[in-house]
Chains A and B, each alone.
Chain A
Amino acid sequence: MSEGWCCGRSLALFALVILLPIGIARGFQSDELLQDNEEFGLEGGLPAAGPEPPTNPVRSPIRRRPDLDPPSGSADSKSVQFSLEHNLGASEFSPAGTFTARLKSWSHGGQTLTKLRFSRNALTEEEKRAFERLLKEDGHYTIRVPSNVLNPSGEDYVISSVRARCIPRESLDEHFVIHTDGVNIIAVNYGSAGACRYPRLLRYPAKWSFTSYTVLKNSEQAPRTPTFAEELLAGEDGLGEGVKPPEKSFWAKYFLLASS
């Protein structure tokens, strides 16, 4: 073993040690700003699935300790429950499942729904027949949730539909994307978990139960080219005129960081 190798290995180790926390930090940062906050919860059909990590991207890097959620329907003031209703071609909507979420209050007054979970009611025989009829007709399967989940008025519902033939695969696979402004539900994008082929062929599922995937989405911030955004900020501070110092190398930066 030569010393050079040793040196090289230690250097690599050193670099690894340095890079690891930075890498994690980077990961957090990008999580906060850029990463798509799609996280799939696999529930309903598979009740054994554990609680999902929080879906709100802003929350996750700040508090990542295991959170013991009270079971749905408990008296916890922070827990919010709202029901999903569906329409199988009839004129009336009927309850089909329950969403449970936690309401986080922020110090600045805002509130956000997080940790969305969903449990589907099993299909009754009648519903199954209605669903089969929908499949035959190539009709629309419609669902709705209240727009205001904190105090549902019973008037404003967010509705979404899909052709019933898009849903069956092995089981009935469904995918919810719930767009919120924090608390209020703006829209629900409901559809099959994957592609819906056209022409839609009549096919019955092997298993008459739902496999549900749910995603909670908040709005993104509009991007702005960093250089100009910086210039803008600098311009506001009155420092925009100065010449930028030359870009320092990574090592130089790390050295500065370590020495400070």
Chain B
Amino acid sequence: MSSSHLRPRTAMAIRARLGFVIVLSLFFSATLSTALYEDQVGLADWHHKYIGKVKHAVFHTQKTGRKRVVVSTEENVVASLDLRTGFIFWRNVLGKNDHIDQVDIALGKYVVTLSSGGSILRAWNLPDGQMIWESTLPVSTPSKSSLYVLANMNVGKDNLILVFGGSSIHALSSMDGQIVWRKELSIDSLEIQQIFQPHDSDIINVVGFVGSSEFVVYQISYRTGEVMQQSKASFESGFCGEASLVFDNLVVALDASKSSLVSISFKNEVINFHQINLSDLVPDFSGKVTLLPLKFNGMLAIEIASSILLLRVKGANELEFVEKISHPFAVSDALPLSKVQQAFAILQHDESKIHFKVKSDNDLRNEILKETIQMDSQRGNIEKVFINNYIRTDRTHGFRFLVVMEDHSLLLIQQGEIVWSREDGLASIVDSTTSELPVEKEGVSVAEVEHNLFEWLKGHLLKLKGTLMLASPDEVAAIQAIRLKSSEKNKMTRDHNGFRKLIIVLTRAGKVLALHTGDGRVVWSVLLPALRRSETCGNPFALRVYQWQVPHHHAMHENPSVLVVGRCGHGFDAPGIFSIVDSYTGKVQNSFILEHSVSHIMPLPLTDSTEQRLHLIIDAKLQAHLYPKNSDSLKHFFNEMPNIYWYSVEVEKNKIKGYSLESKAELDTAEEYVFQAKELWSIIFPSESEKIAVTATRKMNEIVHTQAKVVADQDVMYKYISKNILFVATVSPKAAGEIGSATPEEALLYAYLIDTVSGRILHRVCHQGAQGPVHAVVSENWVVYHYFNLRAHRYEMSVIEIYDQSRADNKDVWKLVLGKHNLTAPVSLYSRPDVMVKSQSYFFTHSVKSMAVTATAKGITSKQLLVGTIGDQVLALDKRFLDPRRSVNPTQSEKEEGIIPLTDSLPIVPQSYITHSLQVEDLRSMVTIPAKLESTTLVFSYGVDLFFTRIAPSRTYDSLTEDFSYALLLITIVVLVAAIFVTWALSEKKELKEKWR
């Protein structure tokens, strides 16, 4: 976003290397794609599976055999976990908007999920997660829907599954998902609260509210859905809509003011209301109350100002205060222990300890179980608890607890110990950055080279055998084990090739974790205190993570740090949150709530004397705030201030605006670090014909090696390289919906290349009959975008390359090679651009979830596009396939240059999937990180799963492969030397013989 408006054209970048590049590019053209061998899987890549924050859990432990827990999560995953280890037996990721409302188990063999606002019901096979049936329910208005699986009356009989929401009830067969009956209770604004079935009867009771003051009870036939009995009564002070079923004939609800309880008893069409004042029960009561959904017979849990009260219901108008629990806490649902006994759990946080209490309805004063465990403070508070029981060896009831923590991690606790834990916050990564590992310090030998000479020789002998294909299967396995075990890739120090790094990720829960690129393990994690719910900040959420300080001068003594930016609440004008975290230890160095909001964050290409990166935060009032706040950073900033520009994209208003900073006349000490924005340019897309679909820019840290492109017959084309290029795609409003919602005549897609300093439209092109979703990636002087072509009924990818014509007359290649060109002259973007654009479109089979491009340390290696496919895999596509200069019959010189003959669609080579056989479920983003080794890019892709690998778009031309046999090389040399000596001796002998003749 920030930018200097100068394009330094260094002759350095072009000199002598050009020739080298030509040679290299010829070399590259020989290899198009690189694939893995089967035994190389897992050497450089890792894949971790997650499920996300658990919303519901159902235990399945009755039968002998596998004990499991079925969970549904906020990432729309339904999964079955092994209760002993926490491993995933199976999981299914539903669509992005297919939120799971509820999950249950039917017939003891099907997992039933209700999703999409109560409109889709699916059954999955419990052992393997295969879908058994799917049923779409006709839901007129989306409302809060619930699932009620009737208790097994007779096993083997077809039990019904009831789905209710609003005023309708659907009964579906649990065998095949067919709708058995459907009942629309024809009363306007009816909200069904509960459905329940009195023991051993063919009647189900339905209770609900009509409007805000009427209470209704229906008795419906279980078999047919016929209404047997109906009664209603109104309550003058009204209800707020919350209610809890206490007994089969008693409901306790909250009144409209949320300050007193109303007990509603109903029997034989008679409904009675009793208002209960809370102040009678709780002497110092004030404020508002919420009812907790505790499905417990005769019990009621209400929440009052950060504490809960447990109340026992003795009769229609008699409540008894049992216990008060203060925040933070969690209460589980009721768990039936026997036909007459129920139990529930209360968890209470006490600093780093959690107290577990299980109570049963026999004796509410005392606990069945009381345990305390120590909890890692980086997991935050308890959010949810699910309880399950088992029979201990001494025939008493034992309990296990599935606990969801504030950082979205999932733990199983039994006998006062954490049996297993899952770091499921990693399923919702918001942003990521990388950090170098510490430099290996002298004297501290972290790397034990090899244990001893014998081991070393043995290892190499094995490798040699493997290379010569002499190894037996056992030996192959041993070689594989040696490779995997080689701790080289998992060390905590910087390596020569730059493969080992820390990936620092920020999750939605506000937790920062450092992952090691070697195996993806969590090196440290910290739940940022600033991003936790507190009194000053009620609804915090994490935005971005940036590199804050990268020490080069004192790399041995100082640790790098990252900056985490968040926001207090979802509005754009909510105050921002800053947290600075040490990259090596995870220690929070500094954390504070900003006085202003955060709408844009610009890391500037400037650092102060302590190597802290300067950041400019733009707030909602268009004021720019400079960080870090010190005089040194201000000094550096003032030097570059006239060259700082930024832009904002206002998607709702269809506008793009460009700004610079107003120079200050007088310095006010209080407002020293605050600058006013000045609007420089604006682009307004007419709302009746265009709508912004996507914007894309170049990565700020991308390095371009050559500015010139030597094309066939020694001609030179200069790339238009500017960090300030913005790609914008707009679609006609009619075509903004899903594919097929517009006719080809109505659908138009405009692609723009905009210079963000001057606001100039460098190029504008229209694709007729094309529509979104659009995905785009910008790199060097080109942009590739993906959209749907309605005329051809296919997806399409277009490439635009932009070249600078103002230097087109500097065509002498030799001058370029020798560095005689005056390319260091600064160029202003205010000059009228003289650009030439080349473009081409190709069909592409897949729809795309996200796109990225590889990045290497020096930018010499050719580029690959990374395409996140609809199947959640990552495809590496060579940029040369997307060259606009491809023609049907390339000339000889073009062929030498490596231009591929034109085809109308892009090839998808199965070997070029960098995720090979794996899937990165719900793939959201791919991040490329240059390694120190020029040929190699590290790729980190994340969604619900994480996947990391390293790829070499032009193969590793600059290093020997890992399995290169040094022993073989040594032996060859030894043999050669020996042969030299032998032949020398022989020839001496022969010569002597000749002489004696």
Which positions in A face B, CB cutoff 8 Å?
137-138, 140, 142, 147-148, 156-163, 166, 175, 177, 179, 181, 183-187, 189, 191-200, 217, 219-225, 227-228, 231-232
Contacts and interface: CB of A to CB of B under 8 A. Distances in A.
Given A189-B761, A192-B832, A198-B6, A222 B798 contact: yes
A184 B758 CA distance: 20
Interface in B656-690: 657, 660, 663, 678-686, 689-690
Contact of B758 (A162, A185, A200, A220): A162
A160 B761 CA distance: 11
Interface string B757-786: 011110011111000000000000000000
6 contacts: A159-B679, A187-B681, A189-B758, A217-B764, A225-B904, A228-B902
Contact of A184 (B657, B686, B750, B827): B686
A138 B660 CA distance: 13
Nearest to A185: B684
Given A161-B759, A181-B690, A225-B840, A191 B830 contact: yes
Contact of A186 (B683, B766, B798, B806): B683
A232 B642 CA distance: 51
Contacts of A196: 828, 830-831
B798 A157 contact: no
Contacts of A193: 832
B683, B751, B792 — which one has the most chain A CB atoms within 10 A of its CB?
B683
B881 to A, nearest CB: 14
Given A140-B680, A228-B904, A219 B831 contact: no
Interface string B821-847: 000001110111000000111000000
B679 A162 contact: no
A220 B684 contact: no
A232 B791 contact: yes
Nearest to A197: B828
Contacts of B642: 138
B839 A223 contact: yes
Contact of A192 (B764, B791, B830): B830
A186 B840 contact: no
B686 A189 contact: no
Contacts of B681: 159-161, 187
A201 B750 CA distance: 39
A221 B768 contact: yes
A181 B680 contact: no
B839 A186 contact: no
Given A166-B828, A198-B6, A186 B682 contact: no
Contacts of B750: 219
B888 interface: yes
Contacts of B663: 137
Contact of A227 (B6, B827, B831, B888): B888
A202 B828 CA distance: 15
Nearest to B690: A181
B766 A221 contact: yes
Given A222-B767, A228-B904, A191 B683 contact: no
Nearest to A182: B689
Interface of B: 6, 642, 657, 660, 663, 678-686, 689-690, 750-751, 758-761, 764-768, 791-792, 798, 806, 826-828, 830-832, 839-841, 888, 902, 904
A186 B684 contact: yes
Contacts of B682: 157-159, 187
A163 B830 contact: yes
B657, B760, B827 — which one has the most chain A CB atoms within 10 A of its CB?
B760
B266 to A, nearest CB: 60
B680 A159 contact: yes
Nearest to A160: B681
A187 B761 contact: yes
Given A140-B660, A192-B830, A198-B827, A179 B678 contact: no
A198 B766 CA distance: 34
Contact of B831 (A186, A192, A225, A228): A192
A232 B792 contact: yes
A219 B765 contact: yes
A55 to B, nearest CB: 16
B132 to A, nearest CB: 42
Contacts of B657: 159
Contact of B841 (A166, A194, A224): A224
B679, B792, B828 — which one has the most chain A CB atoms within 10 A of its CB?
B828
A192 B759 CA distance: 14
A175 B831 CA distance: 10
Nearest 5 pairs of A and B residues by beta carbon: A184-B686, A196-B830, A161-B680, A195-B831, A189-B760
B841 A222 contact: yes
Contact of A219 (B759, B766, B798): B766
A186 B765 contact: no
Nearest to A226: B888
A72 to B, nearest CB: 24
Given A189-B759, A195-B831, 14 more contacts: A158-B684, A159-B759, A161-B758, A166-B828, A166-B831, A184-B684, A189-B761, A191-B830, A195-B806, A217-B761, A220-B764, A220-B765, A220-B766, A225-B904
A86 B657 CA distance: 17
Nearest to B682: A159
B830 A162 contact: yes
Nearest to A233: B791
B801 to A, nearest CB: 13
Contacts of B826: 198-199
A224 B690 CA distance: 22
Contacts of A186: 683-686, 690, 761
B839 A222 contact: yes
Contacts of A179: 761, 764
B269 to A, nearest CB: 63
B644 to A, nearest CB: 13
Contacts of A161: 680-681, 758-759
Given A138-B642, A159-B680, A223-B839, A200 B828 contact: yes
Contacts of A194: 831-832
B902 A225 contact: yes
A106 to B, nearest CB: 15
Contacts of A184: 684, 686, 689
A142 B840 contact: no
Contacts of B660: 140
Nearest to B653: A156
Contacts of B690: 181, 186
Contacts of A175: 832
Contacts of B767: 222
Contacts of A189: 758-761
A224 B827 CA distance: 33
A221 B837 CA distance: 13
A194 B6 CA distance: 17
Nearest to A140: B680
Contacts of A181: 686, 689-690
A166 B830 contact: yes
Contacts of A187: 681-684, 759-761
Contacts of B685: 186
A237 to B, nearest CB: 13
Contacts of A157: 682
A192 to B, nearest CB: 7
Contacts of B6: 198
A137 B830 CA distance: 17
A119 B65 CA distance: 89
Given A192-B831, A222-B767, A225-B840, A142 B760 contact: no
Given A147-B686, A186-B686, A142 B680 contact: yes
Contacts of B832: 175, 191-195
A161 B512 CA distance: 42
B681, B765, B839 — which one has the most chain A CB atoms within 10 A of its CB?
B681
Contacts of A197: 828
A221 B902 contact: no
Contacts of A222: 751, 765-768, 798, 839, 841
A232 B760 CA distance: 35
